[in-house]
Amino acid sequence: MTRQRAQDDGALTTLKSLLGQRLSLSKSDLALHGRSESYFPETLPDAVAYPETTEEVAQLVTICAEAGVPVVAWGTGTSLEGHSLATQGGVVVDFSRMTRVLDLRAEDMTVSVQPGLTREALNEELRATGLFFPVDPGANAALGGMAATRASGTTAVRYGTMRNNVLALEVVLADGRVIRTGSRARKSAAGFDLTALMVGSEGTLGLITELTLRLHGQPEAISAGVCAFPDMGAAVAAVTDTIQMGLPMARIEFVDAACAAAVYAYAGMDFPLLPHLLLEFHGTEAAVAEQARLFGEIAGDHGALGFDWSVKPEDRKALWAMRHNAYYAILASRPGARALVTDICVPISRLAEAVEAAQADIAAASVSGPILGHVGDGNFHAVLLVDPENPEELAEAKALSDRMVRRALALGGTSTGEHGVGLGKLGFMAAEHGDGWAVMGEIKRALDPKNILNPGKLVPPWQ
């Protein structure tokens, strides 16, 4: 840590009296909360706290603020850009004991939850209501973490991202104050939109302790399908035509040939080793059948090799389990490797150009990098596999990723479509936002002048 050790010891003693056994200093706990899902090295915190109430979080933050001890929020640890790593030591606040559904109002189609509740657990709670929460980043992430990173995923093309589905928040600020942002109303013109400010702030402005979420009606029928294409350009052109026709897609994903090969080896899915589109339609039985038929015609016009679709739940479950496990299938294709995952997003009209250029870059490199993503909103990921013991490979992967980001920015896109900034994209914030990045830093200084909340992330650094 960069802070004075004596100050930290005093703060930890005070926190121990507050939380008892729910403040952990065990090596295994510190190691668990010092790891990332991707290529970042282990970074151990000094302690892990397990609060159970907003009041405990507020007291914890107050104690840490007085001692200048960093505080880093932790959901399930599934982020890919090192958001939850305690790079300056301090206390990781693990929300796994704050998982309650607090207030379900089916008639308003809203629910209030604690931040440690995962999206899958929430949807289990909602099964009998006819409602569901649609944001699906793939991992069974905690809802607080999803809000903090402004997550999206496979269903964003129809239902939007966390930005569109968070109505209100309860947040503990850096000085221990507890504020509530937003309301259950579907719209408001009352002052600054503090909810939007907190969604995507990655724990640098406050710790989310409660969320009020927008729910959606479960569709009467769902159809899902998959088809192969001779090349990525043809697949993207089919998607572009589908969007321009106004055909309502609930999900539309793509995997390139290398990703299809990894999935085939990992799960035994009978895929031609070609680029594929995976898609899903929601609506009435008649509507989803008609939508699938129309998409099949569009795909055929672009050279698709068949279009297999089904309304059977078991078929849909297998298809999306395959897509969600694609990251692990890619990792399994090179045992022992770690991944550097790109996350660029470009306008749909430039997607084929960006993907094909990325494929050419990867083909000329010594590291492999299957590509997959959310073709419906122009967001794709190259999963660059590196030997964690080989610094040359990591340097090459970073150079590849940097080239893809610079190209995305030149095409009118962004460095991160859904994974967030964390540590991995910090170097591109100035190029993407210009003076706007400095404004973000000014907001951070105003709300967290001691820089204790997730320091070293998202905003320009300062001591």
Higher-pLDDT residue of 418 and 306 is 418
**218 token code pair:** 């479960």
Strands (E), 175-304: 178-182, 207-214, 216-217, 221-228, 251-255, 276-283
pLDDT of residue 3: 44
379 & 297 share domain: no
| Separation of CA 188 from chain center | 27
Instruction: Classify residue 60: in a domain, yes or no.
Output: yes
278 & 320 share domain: yes
pLDDT of residue 240: 87
CATH code of the domain in which 342 resides: 3.30.70.2740
Contact (CB, 8 A) for 199 and 235: no
Residue at which a domain ends, from 272, 304, 327: 327
pLDDT, mean over the chain: 93
10 confidence band (pLDDT: 50, 70, 90) = confident
Contact (CB, 8 A) for 91 and 453: no
pLDDT of residue 4: 42
User: For residue 319, is pLDDT > 90?
Assistant: no
**pLDDT tens per residue across span 22-53:** 999 999 999 999 998 888 999 999 999 999 99
114 & 213 share domain: yes
Residue at which a domain ends, from 39, 74, 96: 96
User: For residue 8, is pLDDT > 80?
Assistant: no
Kindly state the DSSP code that residue 306 receives in the 8-state scheme. Answer: E
Structural domain harbouring 281? 221-327
pLDDT of residue 317: 84
Contact (CB, 8 A) for 137 and 76: no
Q: What size, in residues, is the chain?
A: 463
pLDDT of residue 75: 96
Beta bridge partners of 103: 112
| Furthest-apart CA atoms within the chain: distance in Å | 70
Contact (CB, 8 A) for 94 and 50: yes
Number of alpha carbons in the 13 Å side-chain half-sphere of residue 47: 26
Instruction: Classify residue 459: in a domain, yes or no.
Output: no
463 confidence band (pLDDT: 50, 70, 90) = low
pLDDT of residue 312: 86
**pLDDT tens per residue across span 334-357:** 999 999 999 999 998 899 899 999
Contact (CB, 8 A) for 401 and 384: yes
What is the DSSP annotation of 308-376?
Answer: EEE--HHHHHHHHHHHHTHHHHHHHTSTT-EEEE--EE--GGGHHHHHHHHHHHHHTSSS---EEEEGG
CATH code of the domain in which 70 resides: 3.30.43.10
Q: How many CB atoms lie within 10 A of CB 419?
A: 24
**pLDDT tens per residue across span 239-280:** 889 988 888 899 999 999 999 899 888 877 777 889 999 999
Contact (CB, 8 A) for 299 and 238: yes
409 & 303 share domain: no
Three-state DSSP at 222 gives: strand
Number of domains in the chain: 4
Give the pLDDT mean for 292-312: 90
Number of alpha carbons in the 13 Å side-chain half-sphere of residue 427: 9
Contact (CB, 8 A) for 145 and 155: no
206 & 106 share domain: yes
Higher-pLDDT residue of 452 and 307 is 452
Instruction: Classify residue 413: in a domain, yes or no.
Output: yes
275 & 340 share domain: no
**pLDDT tens per residue across span 366-398:** 999 999 989 889 999 999 999 989 999 999 999
Beta bridge partners of 305: 228
Beta bridge partners of 445: none
Close Cβ partners of 199 (under 8 Å, ≥ 6 residues apart): 147, 148, 150, 162, 163, 166, 169
**pLDDT tens per residue across span 202-218:** 999 999 999 999 999 99
**pLDDT tens per residue across span 100-144:** 999 999 999 999 999 999 999 999 999 999 999 999 998 899 999
Q: What is the pTM of this model?
A: 0.92
Higher-pLDDT residue of 308 and 12 is 12
For the chain, percent of residues with pLDDT exceeding 70: 98
